[in-house]
Chain A
Amino acid sequence: MSDFQEQEIVSAEHDHLVSAIIKLDKTQHITEPTRNEPTNLSSEFNLIKSSNKLDLSKVVSALKDSAHHTTITKKLKSLDQGQVLPKPLEKPQAERIKRSTGYDATKEKVAKWDPVVARNRTVDFVSFPLHSVSKREHPTKVILSNLKSKSPLEKELDEIDPPAEVEEESKEEQSFPMTYEEMLEHRKEMAKLRAQQSYKAAKAKRQSKIKSKKYHRILKKERLKQQLKEFEELQEKNPEEALKKLEELEKARALERHTLRHKNTGKWAKNKLVRAKYDKEVRQQLAEQLAVSRGLTHKTQHSESTDDEADENEMLPDMTLAQDPLNPWMMKGLNKSNVDTDFDFGYKKFIKEKVLKHTEDSDSEENDETVCDLSSLKKKNYMLGSVRNHVHEQSSHSKIEHESKLSSPLGISKKKPMEKNNAKVTFMKQDRNIKKPIATSKWTVDIIKPNDSTESGEIKVAEVFDTFETKVAKQVEIKINKLRKNIKRLERSSKTPKVVKKKGGKGKNISNMESLMFKNKNPKPIIDEELIETNLKAPEDIPEMTKTYTKIIKYPSALAAHSNNNSNIDPSQFIEVKPKYLNTAIPSCENILDELDDDEQIVPKIDIEEVFEEDDVVASFRQEKQNEIDNDIPKEIDLQLPGWGSWGGIGVKAPKRKRNRFISKNIPKMPRRDENKGDIIINELKLPKLKAHKVSELPFPFTKVSDFEASVRAPLGNTFIPEIAHKKLIRPNVITKAGTIIEPMDEEQLLIKRNQSFKNEKILKLLSKQ
C-alpha cells in the first residue's frame, strides 16, 4: 500500500513538476480537440479546426495493400503526385527568360530582311515606288486590243488537241487577316515559343537550385575545356579567328586587371582577412584567390619561359623536404604517413579522429604546451619555405599525434583540414608564377599541394575524384602550354622574352624590397606581386616603334627614288643624237647656186653661227642647274643664341654642345626629277595655289592613296564620255516617281528573286551586325 501511495505521491509530484515545467513556457497552448468517442452529433465545439483537408496519403495508407484496392490506391497515389505544380519562377527571372526568347524570335524575324536591305544598299539605284506594275486600270481600248478571237485554224487545232483547261482561280475575298494554314502555323509558332520559354525557365530553375560547389566547378572546368577545344579547332581551321579570340581572351584579362576582381579587396576577402591572422587555412584560401587573380592577369606570351623555371623551383623544395636528413619531422613523417595512411581509411579514420578530438577537448589545458611547441616547429618549417604535400602534412600531424601520444597522453590540438580540390588548377599556375608569396607580408602562407595519388595507396572515392581532376588539370595545362607555344610562334618578334622576363623579375624584387621597408600598420596578406608588364611591346619600345613608323611614312617616295638612283646614268653622256642632215630648200635670196639634188647628202659646212656658238651658254646653264640643286638642298638651320655669360657677335663660335643642341637637322635630300636628264632643269616647286585645290585627307572608305586616286581618275561629264555612260554615272541613288504614294516595303519584297539571290556574305554579315 505504502508502495502504491508512494507511487501515487511520486506520480502526483511528477505531474506537478510537469505542469510547473510547462508553466515555464508562458505561451498559451491550445490543445487540439480530439474526438475520443464516437458521436453522431457534431457539435460546433467539437469541430477539428486545424485541417479539415483530406490527406490522401493517409487514406491510401488506410487502404493498406489489400489486393482488392490496388487500382484505387494507384489512382490516388498518382493523383497525389501530379497535383502539385511547381512554384512559378520569380518575376524578374521569368521576365528575363521571356525577353531572351522574344529577342531570339524577333531576331529571326528581322534577319529575313537582311538580304533585301543589303541588296538595296549595294544596288546602283533604288526606284520608288517599288511596285513597278502599275495598278491603274488600263483603258478599255488597250484591254480590247489584247483580246482576240481565235482564228479558225486555232479552233481547228483546239479540236484536235484540246488545250489544258486553265483552272479558274477562286476569287474568294480574304476577309480574315490570316488564312487557316497561317493561323495554324502562327499557333504552332506561339506554342513553340511558349514551350521554349517554359523549358528554359525550368532549366534555369533547376540549375540555380544546385548548390554543389563541385558541380559548379566541374561545370566551369567543362566550359573551359570546351572553350579550349573550340579554340584549338578554330586555330586549325581559321587562324585569323583564333587570333581574334585570343585577343578577346586578352581583353578579358585586361578587364580582370581593371576591375581587380579576385583581389584582396572584396567583401569576402576582407572577411577572410580578419580571420587570416589566426587561421592558416584562410590564409591559404586568400593566397589561392590572389593566385587566381594573378593567373588571370598574367600575360600569356612569356609564360612558357617562366614555366621551365617554375618547374625547376617546384621540384627543388619537394626534394629537399623529402630527403632532408636534418629535418627529422619530415623524414619520419613521410615514412610514417605511408604506413599510417595505409591503415587510416574509411570509417576507421573517422572514428579515430573523433576519439582524438574528444580527448583533446576534455584535456585542453594540458595540451597547451605541446601546441606551442608544435606551432613553433611549424613556423620553422614555414620559414624554410616548405611547400608541403597534403599527405605529408597529414602524415606529419598524425606522426605528431603518435609522438605526443607516446610522450604525453595527449594528441594534437588541431587537425589539418582536407585540402580543397578546386584550387588545384589555380595552384599550379600559382606555383609557376610565384615561388615565395610570403616575401611581402608578415604572415606565412604555405601552399598545400594536392594529393599525390601515387604516394597514397589508398583507394578512396574522393581521391579517385582527385586523381581524375589532376589528370584533367594536367591535360588542360598541356593544352594551355600548347596554345601558348602557338601564340608565341605567332608573335615572335625582335624582343627576346628572356630579357623581358628578367626585367620583370627585377621589378618584382624591388617591389618586394620596398614593401619590406615599410611597416604595415594593419597587416594584410599582400601577396600580390607587381604586375609583370612584360610584353613584346614594352613601354620603352613603343615610342621607338612610332618613330620608325613616322620615318617610314615620311619618306617613302624618297626611299623608292633612291633605289632608282642606283642606276646612275646620264643619258646625255650616252645618247648623243647624231644630227641628221636634211636636204632642205634654201631660200632663194641666200644662195641659188647651191641647190642640189634631193638624193645627195649635204656635206656640212662650217657656218658663222656655229663658229660663234657660245660655249659658255652651256657652262652657264650647267652652273645655273647646279645652283638650283644647291638651293634645293635643305640647309641646317642654326638656332643657337648666346646665353648668359657667353660672347655673342660675328666670329664667335658657340660651344660644341650648344651647336649640337640647336642646329636643326637637315631633311634627307629628295632626288630631283632632272637629276640624270642633262641640260634640263625642272623646278619641283610647291605650288601653293594648286595645293589648295588638292585633296589632303583620304575620305572614309579608302586606306590607300592609290585607291582614292583610282576612284577619281575618270571624268563624268558628257563632253568626255558618251551620253549613255554619263547618264549612268550620274544617276541618283534613289529615284522617286513624282506624284505617287510611296508605301513602305511589304513582305512581297522577300519573295522577289533578285532579293533572295543576294549572296554577298560580307555585306550581309555587316548589316546584320548593326
Chain B
Amino acid sequence: MKVKSEEIKKLRYFEKTKEKNSKLIKNTDEVEEYHVKLKPHSKWTKKKLEIKDSKPQKVIVKKKNSGKSPISLKNLEKHSRGDGISGKGVKHPLYAAKLQKKELKYRFAQNQAARADILLTENAGYLEVDEDHRTTCITQKEIVKNVDITAATKTFNLNLDFGPYRAKYSKNGRHLLLGSKKGHLAAFDWVTKKLHCEINVMESIHDVSWLHVETMIAAAQKEWLYIYDNTGMELHCMKKMDKILRMEFLPYHFLLAAVNEYGFMSWLDISIGEIAGHYNNHLGRTSVMTHNPYNATICLGNSQGVVSMWSPTVKKPLAKILCHKTPLSAIAVDQKGTYMATTGVDKSLKIWDIRNMDGPLQHYRLRSSAVDLDFSQKDMLAVGLGEVVEIYSDTCTKTADKPYLRHKMAKSICNFKFCPYEDVLGIGNSGGFTSILVPGSGEPNFDAYESNPYQNKAQRKEAEVKALLEKIPADLIALDPFEVVKVDVPTLQDKLEAKTELPHVRRKKIDVKAKRKNKGLTNIARKKIIKDKARKDQIMESIKTRATSNETKDGQKPSKSFGVLDRFVSKPKPNK
C-alpha cells in the first residue's frame, strides 16, 4: 500500500490516473481495499457533528445573521391579548406547569402575529402639499391628474334619473349597491364597472343592504323587505318586516337589523330565515341608524337628541346618551367601536367615547347642519353638508381645525359610504352616484381570510361556509362583547353559598375578582386629571373674581359717598 513519496508529491489529488489506481491495487495483492468515509445519516449524530464543525464559526454566523429580527414593542402591544395567569391561583403543580406552557404558546402566537406585520407592505395614501397650501383646497380634478390610471378610474360620476340614491358597498369593498327613492335598484362591481343587475322595483326604496355575500341583496321597499339575488331575481319577500326605514347588516351574526316607520325594530337571522328579535323601541319614527362594529349593537338617534343602543334580545335600550338638545340628523361609529360622531339639527358635531360611555370628547360647530356622517377604516370622518362633503382626518383624539378634503357637488347628498380597502368615498345623491378619491381613508392591507376584495367564486363559497361556522349567536350582543368570556360571578357565588350550606362539603375558596383590563389610564388617574383641571379652573376663576371684586369695592366706595350726608346712608348689617 505504499506509494513513493515523490510520486505523491508529483500527483495532485484531483489528477486521477487509472494507472496509478491499478498500481495501487496491484500492490495490495488480492485484497481490494477502499478507504470509505461513512457519512452519518442519523438525525442526532448529524446535528452533533454539525455543531462540532460550526463551533469556531458560530460567532461569525451569529454576527452575520443573528436569528430572527427583533419585534418592536409597539407591534407586540398591538397583538397583545392581555396579561396571563399570575400568582398562585392554580395550586396543582401539574396543571400549573401545563398552564404555563399554554401561556408560552400564547406568547408565541403574539410574537408570530407581530412578526407577520412585516408582510403588511402596503402603505396608506396621503396628500402632500407645500407649506402655504392646504389639503382642503385640493380638488378631485387635481388628485385624478396626479394619480395612476387605475386609481383615476375610481373617480366616476353616475348620472341617474330616479331621484335620491342610497349607496352601500359590500364588506370587501368590491361591489356597490344603489337603491333610489323611485325604485331603481342596481348592483355592480364598481371597480370593473360590471353590472350584476339593474331593476326597477316599481316602489319606493328606503334602504338597501348587501347580505353576507355579493349574491344577495336586501331592499327595504315601500311595504316589505325584499331579498334579491345578484341577477335581480326576487328570492324572498319578508312580510314580517314592513315599512322599513333603515337597515344594517351585521356580518358576523348574520343578522339584518331594521327599524320601521312605527319604531319597530327587527333582527332577521338570514342564515336560518328567522326573526331573532322584534319589538317596538317607543322612540317614534326615526331614520337615524347605524351599527357599532365593535359590539354589533344598533345605534338609533331620535328626535329628542338621544342616541340609544339596542340588542335583539333585550327590549330596552342597553344605553342611552343625550347627545344634542335638538333632533339628531346623523350618527357614525368608527371601525373599532371607540368613537361615535353625532350631529343634530343644532349644527353641532360631537364625538363620543362609546366604549367607555363617556363624552363628549369633541364638540364642533358647523355652519350648517349635517346630512350624513361616516367613518372610514382609517378614522377619517366624512360630513355631508347639503351639497358639500367635508372629510376630516383626525377629529376624535385631537380637535380638528379644518377639513382634510372638501368636495362640492351640484346635487344634494343623500348618503355616503367609505369604500373598505380603497381610498374612495361613494356618495349617493339626488342625481345619481359620485365616487371620489380620499387618499389615506382606506385600510391598505387586507386580510384575505377576513374579507378579500379579489375573491373568486370558490373562495367566496369557502368564506361563506367558514363564516357560517363561526357565526355568533344573536344572544351574545351586549355592550361589552367580551361578556361571554367572563365568568358569571353572581351565579358562581350563589352556587358556592348553596354548597356551604350542605353539611359535609368542604368550602371551596374562590377568588371572584374579575380580570383587570390594563388599557389606557385607570379610572382613578383619569379622575385625578379631571380634578386637577377643575381645581385649576376654580383657582383661576377665584383669582379673577377677587380681582374684579377688588375693583368693584374700590369703585363702590367713592360712588356711594355723599360727603357729609354719608351718615344718613343706611349701612348694611354685617353678616354673621
Contact = CB atoms under 8 A, between A and B. Distances in A.
Interface of A: 121-122, 124, 132-133, 138, 142, 145-156, 158-159, 546, 549-550, 553-554, 556-557, 564, 567, 569, 571, 573-575, 577-590, 594, 598, 602, 604, 607, 609-610, 613-615, 617-618, 620-621, 624, 673-674, 677, 679-683, 685, 687, 689-698, 700-715, 717-719, 721-722, 724-726, 728-729, 760, 762-763, 765-767
Nearest to B100: A122
A766 B534 CA distance: 59
B312 to A, nearest CB: 9
Nearest to A567: B527
Interface string B166-195: 000000000000000000000000000000
Contact of A709 (B35, B321, B385, B487): B487
B385 A586 contact: yes
B318 A710 contact: no
Query: Which has the most chain A C-beta neighbours within 10 Å: B92, B134, B136, B367?
Result: B367
Nearest to B386: A587
B306 interface: yes
A582 B101 contact: no
A587 B412 CA distance: 9
Interface stretch (B242-250, B330-338, B417-425, B489-497): B489-497
Given A582-B367, A584-B368, A766-B93, A680 B321 contact: yes
A497 B418 CA distance: 77
A611 to B, nearest CB: 10
Given A682-B357, A701-B95, A694 B486 contact: yes
A693 B35 contact: no
B263 interface: no
A582, A589, A617, A693 — which one has the most chain B CB atoms within 10 A of its CB? A582
B54 to A, nearest CB: 21
B495 A697 contact: yes
Contact of B500 (A546, A708, A718, A726): A546
A512 B531 CA distance: 70
A513 to B, nearest CB: 33
Contact of B36 (A148, A673, A706, A766): A148
A687 B34 CA distance: 84
Contacts of B59: none
B113 A702 contact: no
A215 to B, nearest CB: 44
B514 A553 contact: no
Contact of A147 (B36, B345, B485, B489): B36
Interface in B458-495: 466, 470, 473, 475-476, 478-479, 483-489, 491-493, 495
Contacts of B473: 693
Contacts of A711: 85, 99, 102
A698 B487 contact: yes
A375 B326 CA distance: 112
A416 B495 CA distance: 68
Nearest to A595: B367
A713 B82 contact: yes
20 contacts: A132-B43, A142-B41, A549-B500, A584-B383, A584-B388, A585-B385, A589-B386, A620-B304, A687-B313, A687-B483, A689-B475, A690-B484, A691-B488, A694-B483, A701-B91, A703-B510, A705-B487, A710-B515, A763-B97, A766-B93
Contacts of A702: 89-90
Nearest to A149: B34
Contact of A722 (B40, B91, B112, B475): B112
B453 interface: no
B36 A610 contact: no
A693 B484 contact: yes
Interface in B523-546: 523-524, 527, 530-531, 533-534, 537
Interface string B500-536: 1000000111111111100000011001001101100
B321 A679 contact: yes
Given A122-B98, A717-B470, A760-B93, A722 B113 contact: yes
B202 interface: no
A677 B357 contact: yes
A516 B189 CA distance: 106
A554 B493 contact: yes
A760 B97 CA distance: 9
A578 B13 CA distance: 90
B565 interface: no
B364 A580 contact: yes
A689 B41 CA distance: 61
B105 interface: yes
Interface in B325-366: 325-326, 345-349, 357-358, 360-366
Given A154-B37, A580-B363, A694 B495 contact: no
A413 B419 CA distance: 122
B156 interface: no
A538 to B, nearest CB: 18
- Closest 4 pairs (CB-CB, A-B): A587-B386, A725-B109, A152-B13, A150-B35
Given A150-B36, A728-B105, A571 B530 contact: yes
Contact of B492 (A550, A584, A594, A698): A698
Contacts of A133: 42-43
Nearest to B484: A693
A316 B508 CA distance: 51
B68 to A, nearest CB: 13
B322 interface: yes
Interface in B77-124: 81-87, 89-99, 101-102, 105-106, 108-109, 112-113, 115-116
Contacts of B96: 701
Interface residues of B, number: 132
Interface centre among B93, B484, B530, B537 (most CB of A within 10 A): B93
A122 B98 CA distance: 6
A124 B104 CA distance: 11
Contacts of B443: none
Contact of A703 (B90, B348, B478): B90
A710 B470 contact: no
A137 to B, nearest CB: 12
A159 B4 CA distance: 12
Contacts of B325: 613-615, 617-618
B390 A721 contact: no
Contacts of A577: 360-363
A244 to B, nearest CB: 15
Nearest to B532: A574
A706 B88 CA distance: 12
Contacts of B86: 707, 710
Given A148-B39, A690-B475, A567 B509 contact: no
Contacts of B84: 710, 713
B576 interface: no
Interface in B22-42: 34-42
Nearest to A573: B534
B41 A138 contact: yes
Interface stretch (B211-219, B225-233, B401-409, B432-440): B401-409
B106 A724 contact: no
Interface string B365-408: 11111000000000000010111101000000001111100101
Given A147-B36, A677-B358, A691-B488, A682 B479 contact: yes
Contacts of A692: 475
Nearest to A621: B322
B554 interface: no
A586 B304 CA distance: 25
A149 B507 CA distance: 76
B281 to A, nearest CB: 13
Nearest to A587: B386
Given A553-B497, A706-B89, A150 B322 contact: no
A609 B326 contact: yes
A699 B194 CA distance: 55
B75 to A, nearest CB: 13
Most buried by B among A598, A617, A680, A718: A680
Given A133-B42, A704-B513, A584 B90 contact: no
